[in-house]
Structure 1
Amino acid sequence: MANINEEYIEEYIRSLFPSHQGILKDLELYASVNHVPIVEREVAQLLKVLLKIKKPDRILEVGTAIGYSAIIMAESTRDNCSITTIERREDMVDIARKNIEIAKYSHRIQVIHGDAQDILMNLDEKYDFIFLDAAKGQYLDFFNKCINLLNPGGVIVCDNVLYKGMTASDKLVIRRKKTIVKRLREFLKYISSLEGFESSIIPIGDGVSITYREE
């Protein structure tokens, strides 16, 4: 079991929704063959629903990879919604930009190459929706930088927060992952009681947290 739910549950949920076509289908195959982590199908569906409800004007993503989730977010938002996505690996930046061009979203999606810790400190824009899917052990630091960039009424979504169940159970923790798990637990505890924000933790995919900034 790769994620936190039984395989039959994952398969059933995924069977309910139409398969992706075109560039998204190609990227799913590329990610599978090349072992590139992308959001699970059920998490992608959650993103689509949240974005259609929120109708953001500006989106920030931390962790571009091959551009899969950025393209999903572009497809799920209005034409005037701009997306800024940050990726530290130069090879992934090149691949993502090519994929975004193929998907015809280069005019809406800007890929920034660099360390998110530095870039987040220097962004001037405010965002309505932020998606974190980067180094799990740095989520708390990323989050605190991101809330300074989040508009009132804005939403932050973080992927992989239950980390194959290890965040919730010591019995599942792999020794080399102890530090990441410890930091994820601290992160979830922090967002669950943060004044001025409301959070929920959704047990789909590898665990997703959703945080709303009160207006």
Structure 2
Amino acid sequence: MTDSEGGPHPPTASPDSALIDYAESAIVEDDALLAARDRADELGASAVAPAVGALLALLARTCDAHAVVEIGTGVGVSGLWLLNGMAADGVLTTIDPEPEHHRAARQSFAGADIAPGRTRLINGAPRDVLPRLADESYDLVFVDGPLIDHPRHVTEAIRMLRPGGVVVVHNATADGAVADPARTDPPVAAAREAALLIADDERLLPVVIPLGAGVLAATKAR
């Protein structure tokens, strides 16, 4: 393709890409979050995109979250966003099997002046920890971590949610691969299974939100 002077058109972003870029550019993170992202880079740990973090804060505030479970602490980026939206006396229970992640997350929380009593960091495999958490006792459950574990974690999240609570699944689209019928590898199949568990539960009202790696959120009927 050429422009009116016969030269090639400059490349342009797709509408979807431009919209996502705009959503990300609209979010300004504070010094504590920027420092946490630096820790993630140093450790090679993944962290939610800023727009996904802002969505977590919004959902936490919308459901007046006092008790939240996070599956996959990382270095505390998503935890900081959740705490930003939670009630002032809310407690974040965050689970990760990596001790190094927990040390970094504690630094991130301290750097944001989060009172120690507002976070409960559990070092362990979520498959072992989640069954010990009480039924219908949490306002929001954030499911992150390896895709292959999402079906198990979503099942536990639904059990733990109180009526009116929200479950949020990160990378629910498996980086877009769920839409490709040729992709049947185990992580993609697990992402589809997790989505079906939510879609097939009549108590849940779900929506897919195209931010970051793709977010699936659902609220539980009161």
Length-normalised TM-score, structure 1: 0.88
> Any idea what the Cα deviations from partners look like across 1:31-81, whole Å, max 9, x if unmatched?
345432111111112112212211111111100010111111112222111
Within a 5 Å distance, the mapping from 1:10-29 to structure 2 comes to 10-17=20-27, 19-29=28-38
Is residue 60–residue 131 contact of structure 1 (8 Å, CA) maintained in 2? yes
- State the partner residue of 1:157: 168
Which whole-Å CA distance do the structure 2 matches of 1:14 and 1:196 have between them?
A: 32
Identity score, percent: 24
Deviates more, 1:138-147 or 1:25-34: 25-34
Is residue 70–residue 109 contact of structure 1 (8 Å, CA) maintained in 2? no
Query: What RMSD, in angstroms, separates the aligned Cα atoms of the two structures?
Result: 1.9
1:213 equivalent among 202, 216, 220: 220
Moved over 4 A (4+): none
Which whole-Å CA distance do the structure 2 matches of 1:15 and 1:98 have between them?
A: 26
Is 1:86–2:95 an aligned residue pair?
A: yes
1:113 equivalent among 123, 129, 134: 123
Unaligned runs of 5+ in 1: none
Which has the bigger relative contact order, CA under 8 A and spacing at least 6?
A: 1
Deviation at 1:193, TM superposition (A): 1.8
> Any idea what the Cα deviations from partners look like across 1:147-169, whole Å, max 9, x if unmatched?
22111111100100112111111
User: Match of 1:138, as an amino acid?
Assistant: D
Deviation at 1:182, TM superposition (A): 0.9
Is 1:61–2:63 an aligned residue pair?
A: no
Is 1:200–2:203 an aligned residue pair?
A: no
Deviation at 1:100, TM superposition (A): 1.5
Which whole-Å CA distance do the structure 2 matches of 1:131 and 1:74 have between them?
A: 12
Length-normalised TM-score, structure 2: 0.86
Which whole-Å CA distance do the structure 1 matches of 2:52 and 2:214 have between them?
A: 9
User: Match of 1:180, as an amino acid?
Assistant: P
Unaligned runs of 5+ in 2: 1-14
- State the partner residue of 2:8: none
User: Match of 2:212, as an amino acid?
Assistant: G
Provide the secondary structure at the position in 2 that maps to 1:204: coil
Is residue 57–residue 82 contact of structure 2 (8 Å, CA) maintained in 1? yes
- State the partner residue of 1:127: 138
Between the two proteins, the alignment pairs up a number of residues equal to 206
